[in-house]
């Protein structure tokens, strides 16, 4: 096998393995958790992305690793990791927590997409060995990061849908109670009129 084929195979299998694991064990638990706790768990995973700065360390990666890829991946991961840490620190201040959750997900997702774009443009699969000690990052760690970013977006949409459905149900309940009130008033009025007519 060529280095390109090995790297692409590893990347594909990394996604498949994590999707199977995530779907069987992690996603059901995240859906069952409170929304804030679920996003806190995802932020905890992403808080370790400060490790991405290692792409800048000589000796950790090969000397021929494209600097454009290395710098973008390093600073993008570092920014996403810091934002995730800030989200964890701000957990008890919910408006601030949700702000940092949105920030680290947007920044982290953009970083991963940018990494893939740069990897294709710069021919990284052909020189995958230049990733050195960090070879496992794109084939094992990055798939889980991408999956949890998508999961975070799905959780937000699910939360909004629940709130919207709850609002509709409350509105229907208020309308139903209003109609019941009108019906009871009308029934009472008719009953009183009937009693008065019968007494004559």
Q: What is the pLDDT along the chain (200 residues), one digit of tens a residue?
A: 898 999 999 999 999 999 999 999 999 999 999 999 999 999 999 999 999 999 999 999 999 999 999 999 999 999 999 999 999 999 999 999 999 999 999 999 999 999 999 999 999 999 999 999 999 999 999 999 999 999 999 999 987 777 666 555 665 656 656 556 555 766 765 676 666 666 65
Q: How many helices (H) and strands (E) does the chain have?
A: 7, 0
Hey, is 58 helix, strand or coil?
strand
61: tokens are 């990666």
Round to whole Å and give the CA distance between 153 and 161. 12
In a domain, 197, yes or no: no
In a domain, 186, yes or no: no
In a domain, 191, yes or no: no
In a domain, 151, yes or no: yes
In this prediction the pTM is 0.81
- Nearest CA-CA partner of 101 in 86, 120, 118: 86
Q: How many structural domains are present in the chain?
A: 1
Do 43 and 82 form a contact (C-beta atoms < 8 A)? Answer: no
Q: What is the pLDDT of residue 159?
A: 78
Q: What is the pLDDT of residue 161?
A: 79
Q: What is the pLDDT of residue 1?
A: 84
In a domain, 140, yes or no: yes
Q: What is the pLDDT of residue 12?
A: 96
Residue span of the structural domain in which 160 resides: 3-174
In a domain, 9, yes or no: yes
In a domain, 189, yes or no: no
Alpha-carbon dihedral 75, 16, 5, 133, rounded to 10 degrees = 40
In a domain, 95, yes or no: yes
Q: What is the pLDDT of residue 181?
A: 59
């Amino acid at each position: 096998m060529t280095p390109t084929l090995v790297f692409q195979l590893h990347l594909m299998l990394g996604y498949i393995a994590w999707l199977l694991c995530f779907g069987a064990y992690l996603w059901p638990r995240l859906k069952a958790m409170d929304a804030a706790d679920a996003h806190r768990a995802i932020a905890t995973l992403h808080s370790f992305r400060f490790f991405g700065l290692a792409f800048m360390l000589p000796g950790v990666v090969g000397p021929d690793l494209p600097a454009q890829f290395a710098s973008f991946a390093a600073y993008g991961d570092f920014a996403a990791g810091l934002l995730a840490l800030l989200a964890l620190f701000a957990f008890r201040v919910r408006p601030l927590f949700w702000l940092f959750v949105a920030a680290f997900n947007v920044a982290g997702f953009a970083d991963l997409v940018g990494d893939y774009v740069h990897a294709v443009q710069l021919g990284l699969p052909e020189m995958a060995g230049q990733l050195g000690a960090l070879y496992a990052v794109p084939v094992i760690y990055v798939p889980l990061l991408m999956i949890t970013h998508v999961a975070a977006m799905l959780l937000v949409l699910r939360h909004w849908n629940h709130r919207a459905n709850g609002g509709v149900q409350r509105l229907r309940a208020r309308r139903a109670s209003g109609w019941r009130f009108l019906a009871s008033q009308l029934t009472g009025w008719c009953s009183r009129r009937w009693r008065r007519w019968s007494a004559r």
